[in-house]
Chain A
């Protein structure tokens, strides 16, 4: 049940994308995600697809690993799409049926387009987020976040502590998932049933899994604290980093590339290029 979670699963190799500065990757990912929500036309979606394929090629990550993280949220995406389909009631009507006098079930072309676009947006969003987590070690990622948040130190925001908490959380996700899996199997072996019964019964049956998991998480935290102390952990300025963050020519190229892509999407939205009519004549 937890096997498909690919988030935080770094794919170790060396590539153009792997070697980018994590700060640049974070900023560009944010830019990309914002941009996705400005996409209006199918042509722009096509451009985004090509953009992502190029990025994946330059990251040397197998497409399968990326698709795996998309698969993880497929259910959510479909759910959102179906809701959209039923609740958008503007535009040309495709199908209509009066259910009661205050509600008419109606599917419209606007609803269909909205659903398709929402689905594509979510899939692209997850793809973008998984590319950064596949190409950046959690340590580099949190180093990047720490560095970007540095200005907040002025208002006494504990930037370093937040960063170390995040990297440890990422480190323990696979360990705790693994343990959950083992506990579920152990309870199953004793005859526990997790898949039957109503919602309340199901929730109750998770208790014998959650309680041992919490107990063990606290024990782990206690031991980890000793292990960190034993290795001289301190949150002072004296600490150094194995890898200093340094901008290079790659970061410039990547920024220009993503900025170019984003510019295209914005231009297509606000100065409607009308390419959908050329591309899909008859439909629009």
Chain B
């Protein structure tokens, strides 16, 4: 059984007409441990989809199953939300507490976890995102990247199986972005499924699978490589190649032969070196 199943899901914000749907009868499933990027132009329905995946929204039609549990069921909603944790775009608008450790403890406190266990989870989660030394710091004085790592720790403290990031790096500087993405990658290696909504094609290159949306419909579902190879889909989804991909394309177009299909900077450098020898 797939970990997430989205079956014929449609969603309308108001009781509007069918054609105004934010999502139009989409279906897909995600297996445990996958690292999926969700891309598409502003307003194409990415955030709406993310909120459907952890029960913040109930689908207008169709069903969303998370680890087999229906997100429309009121009785099991906290089970769904604790399993599919979510990190939002603006780091300032998702902190509940002034002090870092209090904020990380918020999720487990809501779930009714024993106090001694909460203390342990807070310590473990802060260690996992590399923020142990900021345990008693004032959250508002941290950098954007640090705040987002605290937000991830807050999700980890609920022992999730899925981590959903809704443009979590878009307000960060390059260093903050890199820190957050390396934490996310580590989470994924530890077995947590990651769904990363992003406009940054180098983040897409880190994932195993990309789903591209356009006007509430899935127009692509495949590997990053397949996406980057398809000029037509890139154009339709209003996407660009990552810098490495652009360089490679320019090199190929000007007649330099590149063998492999890497999206990694170092590997590409190696290949250019090989082809020049």
Q: Which residues of A approach B to under 8 Å, CB–CB?
A: 8-10, 12, 137-139, 167-168, 170-171, 174-175, 178, 219-220, 223-224, 226-234, 238-244
The answer to whether A224 touches B93 (Cβ under 8 A) is yes
Q: Which residues of A contact B140 (CB under 8 A)?
A: 171, 174-175, 178
Q: Classify the secondary structure of B's interface with A.
A: helix
Chain A min CB distance to B276 (Å): 50
Q: Check B85 for interface membership: any CB of A closer than 8 A.
A: yes
Q: Check B247 for interface membership: any CB of A closer than 8 A.
A: no
Bound-complex Cα distance A219 to B155 (A): 22
Q: Which residues of A contact B109 (CB under 8 A)?
A: 239-242
Among A138, A220, A223, A231: residue with most chain B CB under 10 A: A231
Pick the residue among A12, A220, A232, A238 that contacts B107 (CB under 8 A). Answer: A232
Q: Which residues of A contact B208 (CB under 8 A)?
A: none
The answer to whether B110 touches A242 (Cβ under 8 A) is no
Nearest B-chain residue to A228, judged by Cβ: B96
The answer to whether B93 touches A229 (Cβ under 8 A) is no
Chain B min CB distance to A2 (Å): 13
The answer to whether A239 touches B96 (Cβ under 8 A) is no
Q: Which residues of B approach A to under 8 Å, CB–CB?
A: 51, 54, 56, 78, 81-82, 85-86, 88, 90, 92-99, 101-102, 105-115, 118-119, 122, 136-141, 154-155, 158
Pick the residue among B56, B97, B122 that contacts A229 (CB under 8 A). Answer: B56
Nearest B-chain residue to A8, judged by Cβ: B98
Q: Which residues of B contact A178 (CB under 8 A)?
A: 140
Q: Which residues of A contact B93 (CB under 8 A)?
A: 219-220, 223-224, 227
Question: Given known contacts A171-B140, A232-B107, what 10 new A-B pairs fall within 8 Å (CB)?
Answer: A137-B99, A137-B102, A139-B97, A168-B96, A220-B93, A230-B54, A230-B85, A240-B115, A242-B108, A243-B115
Bound-complex Cα distance A232 to B96 (A): 13
The answer to whether A171 touches B95 (Cβ under 8 A) is yes
- Contact (A10, B138) CB under 8 Å given A168-B96, A239-B109: yes
Bound-complex Cα distance A223 to B115 (A): 28
Q: Which residues of B contact A219 (CB under 8 A)?
A: 93
- Contact (A229, B98) CB under 8 Å given A240-B114, A242-B115: no
Q: Which residues of B contact A9 (CB under 8 A)?
A: 138
The answer to whether A231 touches B102 (Cβ under 8 A) is no
Bound-complex Cα distance A139 to B102 (A): 7
Among B92, B99, B114: residue with most chain A CB under 10 A: B92
Chain A min CB distance to B64 (Å): 15
9 closest Cβ contacts across the A-B interface? Answer: A227-B94, A223-B93, A242-B105, A139-B102, A232-B110, A12-B136, A231-B107, A238-B112, A230-B86
